[in-house]
Amino acid sequence: MKTRLRDSSQLTVSVAAYVSIGAFALFCLIPFWLVYIGSFTAESQIVQGFRLFPTRFSIDAYRFLLQGAQIYRSGFVSIFVTVAGTAGAVLLTSMFAYVAAHPKVKYRYALSFYIYFTMLFPPGLVGYYLLISNWLDLRDSMLALLLPLLFSAFNSFLMTAYFRTLPFELNEAATADGAHELYIFFRIIWPISKPVIATIALFYALSYWNDWFNALMFIDNPHLHPLQMMLRRIVSNSQNLDYLNTNVNLPVSATSVQLSAVVLTIGPIVFLYPFLQRYFMKGMTIGAVKG
């Protein structure tokens, strides 16, 4: 009797879990699905609104977008900024986080506090704007997209928390053998820190890829607009598809062009996602609460 009771209660909880998690997963998926389907829907249909299933299939929106020059310029800017920025950011952050975690470094807590203070008392938007546009004079330069995201205090603390868990006896032994500090860091520490480095790289890559605010504030030249800025332009001003620099004359609606641009913009993320997931699930939880 008792077992049956427990079984039925277990069953209720299980069913509730499967149903509600399944429902929330669908809720998360549906907007993507609608955008994806919409991007392949013919102009005559899309004006009647979004559909869950395509009614008349068309790739005109993609042809329109891909025959213009802007998608290639913006794609190049996005890829360049993401690759160069992520490489630089991971290198700088990991070196700093390692030193901030190293037991031999007497001022490691002072270094951490130096970073932490910027979270306590952020510089504010006015100072940030003046720095980039007036003092460093980076308006309409790709550096205005690269430099501001090169270091994140949060990522640095995540890495420091990880490095603190390393067995520093490894270093002692290597130092005794006369190995250089840089050698120890790149040849011994990096290989055993892959999950956290992959996690941080993913975070930086996403912040570069998804950044639109710096472009909005500092970049007027369309040749230097990243994909997110291109998308923002054609969303906020849907009359103005000239911006895409297309010569072809296809009967496309602004909506379907927007949707196909979204698909191309988030495509790389969705494509790489399964490969990265197993890393960041591990790396995220190492020191997340302790920061």
Binding to other proteins, residues 85-124 (CB under 8 A): 92-93, 95-96, 98-100, 102, 104-107, 111-116, 118-124
Burial code (b: 16+ CB inside 10 Å, e: under 16) for 86-108 equals: bebbbeebbebbbbbbbeeeeeb
Give 57 or 114: the residue with its C-beta nearer to other proteins.
114
Cα distances (Å, whole numbers) of residue 281 to 62, 162, 274: 34, 14, 11
CB of 102 to other proteins, least distance (A): 6
Give 122 or 251: the residue with its C-beta nearer to other proteins.
122
Element counts in the chain: helices (H) and strands (E): 15, 0
Q: Which residue's structure tokens are 């952050």?
A: 93
Residues 25-54 binding other proteins (CB under 8 A) are: 25-29, 31-32, 34-35, 38, 48-50
Site string for other proteins, 142-181 (x = CB under 8 A): -----xx-xx----x-----------------------xx
Q: Using the rule CB under 8 A, is 288 a contact of other proteins?
A: yes
Q: In whole angstroms, give the CA distance from residue 195 to residue 193.
A: 6
At 57, phi and psi to the nearest 5? Answer: -75, 135
CB of 96 to other proteins, least distance (A): 4
Q: In whole angstroms, give the CA distance from residue 244 to residue 236.
A: 14
- Report the residue from 130, 170, 192, 248 that binds other proteins according to the rule CB under 8 A: 130
Q: Using the rule CB under 8 A, is 4 a contact of other proteins?
A: no
- Report the residue from 134, 165, 237, 240 that binds other proteins according to the rule CB under 8 A: 134
